Amino acid sequence: MIEGEAVRLAELLKGLDIVQVDGDTAVDIADVCYDSRKCRPASLFVAVPGLKADGHDYIAQAQGLGAKAVVLERPCSVPPGVTVVRVSDSRRSLGVLGKNFYGNPSRGLCIVGVTGTSGKTTITYLLESIFSAAGFKAGVLGTVNYRFGGKTMPAPNTTPESLELQRMLREMADAGVQKVVMEVSSHSLELRRVDDCEFDIGIFTNLSQEHLDYHSTMEDYFLAKRRFFDTLLDGRKDGRKYRMIVNADDPWGGRLLQEVQGKVLTFAMEKTADVSAGKASFSVEGIEAELKTPGGALSVRSALIGRFNLSNILAAAAAAFALDIPAESIRAGIGNLKTIPGRLEKITSLKGPSVFVDYAHKEAALRGVLENLSPFKKGRFITVFGCGGDRDRQKRPLMGKAAVTFSDLTILTSDNPRSEDPMEIIREIERGINSGVARKLETSDLSDRGEKGYLIIPDRRAAINLAIGIAGRNDMVLIAGKGHETYQIIGSRTVPFDDRTVAGEALAARGH
């Protein structure tokens, strides 16, 4: 689809599971939309049932703005003169229509999908850097943002809705992008957003408790992820040496290897794998390691911190090796990446404490960050974190337990409380804290630096200011949960808030 060029409706409908058509399919369609407010003359409106609103209720509005045709999944009143296409599943049809309208852009791109609970964002940044070092134009779709060709766009979803995804892939292809790295969320797999993309390789990082407010059980969560490998990586692109890159250290990765057939390349820190780590050293300055690959040993240096980031490096190196990227480009790409927004991002301080901001917002991720930072601490370890409202409540006490296990002082605060009472969220976190491990403190107790405890400060800014204000020069402060986010959601309001900015201001107030 070239910008401004219309497509015959009959062409757009190819591949849809059509129940009935009423009207002319020879009409030309200038645009496809599922938000009635964005319809324009000669557009096709897709009525998709959503969690908060149903597109079927806005067909008249779409027609009023110029829609010539509508795709729907249940009978309803449609204004005269509009072609009606009834399908079995409107949401599923949206991806097919997007693929047809934008000319199946994924077929001409090399696309790497990264899925799992933790590590997705870091791996996309590593692969982007490796591809750039190899001379390829790269595009990225992920949690932090969507970016290619010097353009950066906000990311309302980790993985875009199917129609936007096809549009962005078309824009990338037209801009000369050759390699695309995409975070593939479990939500996008469940909602079929990526079903109409032709992936070259899929990477499985790990699986731990997350999104159980949506998937209900870990089994359902795993099955959503497995679908990517056993259904979407089905060989639509031929000639690939490998189809899957799987973390052999992770138990769910081991299960995936047993249940899904295909050309696979494994990576691991502990177990035997195709890509693994030999000798490695870790510091707050980064990682030095020797990678063992089917192509030989590869020595790398990275500014990323901790053992879990070496696992991410192994995943990225395995994918690059599978795509025949030269070893020197893999080495250079890993070395060139200096930081990742909100992923153990160090806030500069010449004489003050070491302050890190991280996106860890589930128990396994928080535990992993704490375990990896702990060997580097010289003084106290202070952790500031909260849990998001209207999300998986089961993880709250687990995160509380993890925080106090590794921290000398834990400050419980707000994250994005959304519609929930911030104090009720904190109370649920508090239920996971054993008073024998950490005592509940008041600010007046903080003069005793030797006592292990936790403090409740619901105001996140105040919590961060206090943590940095009382930290000694050799102390370490971790601010977890929001990472790269530049906002806080309180009730129905979204207000500007960036942990990195607040931490920087707190350090500046100390004179550092």
pLDDT beyond 80 at 9: yes
Q: What is the DSSP letter of 348?
A: P
Residue 211 confidence (pLDDT) above 70 = no
Rounded CA separation 465/476 (Å): 14
Which pLDDT score is estimated for 5? 80
Q: Report percent pLDDT > 90 for the chain.
A: 88
Beta bridge partners of 430: none
The 10s digit of each residue's pLDDT in 381-408 is 999 999 999 998 999 999 999 999 999 9
Amino acid 2: pLDDT: 47
pLDDT, tens digit, 9 for 90 and up, residues 135-194: 999 999 999 999 999 999 999 999 999 999 999 999 999 999 999 999 999 989 989 999
Confidence of residue 450 (pLDDT cuts 50, 70, 90): confident
Q: Whole-angstrom Cα distance, residue 70 to residue 83?
A: 6
pLDDT-wise least confident of 72-86, 224-238, 277-291, 366-380 = 224-238
What is the arithmetic mean of pLDDT over 49-57?
A: 91
Are 302 and 309 spatial neighbours (Cβ–Cβ below 8 Å)?
Answer: yes
Q: In which band, very low, low, confident or very high, does the pLDDT at 73 lie, cut at 50, 70 and 90?
A: very high
Asked if residue 200 lies in contact with residue 111, where contact means CB atoms within 8 angstroms, the answer is yes
Q: State the average pLDDT for the chain.
A: 94
At residue 210 the predicted structure's pLDDT band, cuts being 50, 70 and 90, is low
Closest to 180 (Cα-Cα) out of 319, 6, 35: 319
Residue pLDDT, tens place only, 310-367: 999 999 999 999 999 999 999 999 999 999 999 999 998 777 899 999 999 999 899 9
Is residue 267 within 8 A of residue 318, CB to CB? The reply is yes
| Better-scored residue on pLDDT, 240 or 501 | 501
- Tell me what pLDDT residue 4 has: 52
Which domains are present in the chain? Answer: 7-101 (3.40.1390.10), 105-336 (3.40.1190.10), 345-509 (3.90.190.20)
Q: Phi/psi at 397 (nearest 5 deg)?
A: -65, -30
- Its sign, for the CA torsion 331, 335, 336, 339, is positive
Indicate the pLDDT class of residue 49, thresholds 50, 70 and 90: very high
pLDDT tens, residue by residue, 77-130: 898 999 999 999 999 999 999 999 999 999 999 999 999 999 999 999 999 999
User: What's the whole-model pTM score?
Assistant: 0.93
